[in-house]
Amino acid sequence: MKELSDTQNLPDDRNLAIDRVGISELSWPVEVAEKTGSTQSTVAKCSLAVALPHHFKGTHMSRFVEALSLHGRRLDVRDMAELPRELLARLEAETAHVTFRFPFFIEKKAPVTGKAGLLDYTITFEVEAKAAAALDFTVTVEVPVATLCPCSKAISEYGAHNQRGLVTFAVKFSGEPIWIEDLIRLVEDSASCELYSVLKRPDEKAVTERAYENPVFVEDLVRNVASRAQAHPDIAWFRVKAENYESIHNHNAYAVIESS
């Protein structure tokens, strides 16, 4: 058989390195470890990339999927380390990036009736690997919450406006990895009230009154999360963003805190 040319390995004379080149938005079945000891089957959107030196014309896109296929379906903090290291070797790269973004479901029971329902959260695992260097691993949880406006409560004769918000909480670990469920709980404890998928009338009364008794501005929300993150012994770095989908305005309100 005639030998086929390898165009990607041809030299390039523009003297421009590429920070990241690879594949994105690849759907991939994964099994995510749960705190209970079980695993949850879900589907991730994957991005895999490497840094391309200036002297190479292109990278070998097929090798990304080959590496992913060999990695298997289990997805946790420890297993994630092997995939970017495999990319470093297969693609002769100095830096590799891997991102998995997937829905994660938690069964939650309504606060009064105990009716159970599933609530979905969006989780992102992101790893950067460099040759002869420690891995840089970031876990991000996106947590929907309810907030009630302290100002509205203070100035109104009855009632107060409230809204659903989204908290995006990214962390790097200093010690043992933290369970997804515990990161979500940290955020939900910082809001006026958490969300549920199933609420009967007694439950709706309970969560409405809980939010009324715990009013928070968007500023309070990010500070609450940041305070808990600072106090956690296994969090080395964090970034928290809260965005409220305002119920009486035609704009959103947001706030961000990032640790040094």
Last residue of a domain, one of 75, 101, 127: 101
Please determine, for residue 42, whether its predicted confidence score (pLDDT) is greater than 90. yes
Token pair recorded at residue 150: 């302290």
pLDDT digit string, tens, across residues 200-218 = 999 999 999 999 999 999 9
pLDDT of 176 reads: 85
Please determine, for residue 8, whether its predicted confidence score (pLDDT) is greater than 70. no
Residues near 226 by Cβ (< 8 Å), separated by ≥ 6? 238, 240, 257, 259
Residues 147 and 256 in one domain: yes
pLDDT of 199 reads: 96
Residues 141 and 256 in one domain: yes
- Asked if the structure places residue 114 within a domain, the reply is no
Last residue of a domain, one of 77, 101, 125: 101
Does residue 162 contact residue 246 with C-beta atoms inside 8 Å? no
Residues 217 and 164 in one domain: yes
- Asked if the structure places residue 123 within a domain, the reply is no
pLDDT digit string, tens, across residues 145-185 = 999 999 999 999 998 999 999 999 999 999 888 999 999 99
3-state secondary structure of 23: strand
Residues 192 and 88 in one domain: no
State the average pLDDT over residues 44-64.
Answer: 84
Residues 158 and 233 in one domain: yes
State the average pLDDT over residues 53-72.
Answer: 81
159-181: b (≥16 Cβ within 10 Å) or e: ebebbebbbbbbbbbeeeebebe
Report the number of distinct structural domains present in the chain.
2
Residues 85 and 39 in one domain: yes
- Asked if the structure places residue 107 within a domain, the reply is no
Residues 170 and 236 in one domain: yes
Cα-flanking dihedrals φ and ψ of residue 146, to 5°?
-115, 140
pLDDT of 112 reads: 98
Domain containing 46 equals 1-101
pLDDT digit string, tens, across residues 79-121 = 777 888 888 888 888 899 999 999 999 999 999 999 999 999 9
Residues 237 and 142 in one domain: yes
Residues 76 and 153 in one domain: no
Query: Which CATH number do you get for residue 143?
Result: 3.10.270.10
pLDDT band at 60 (very low <50, low <70, confident <90, very high): confident
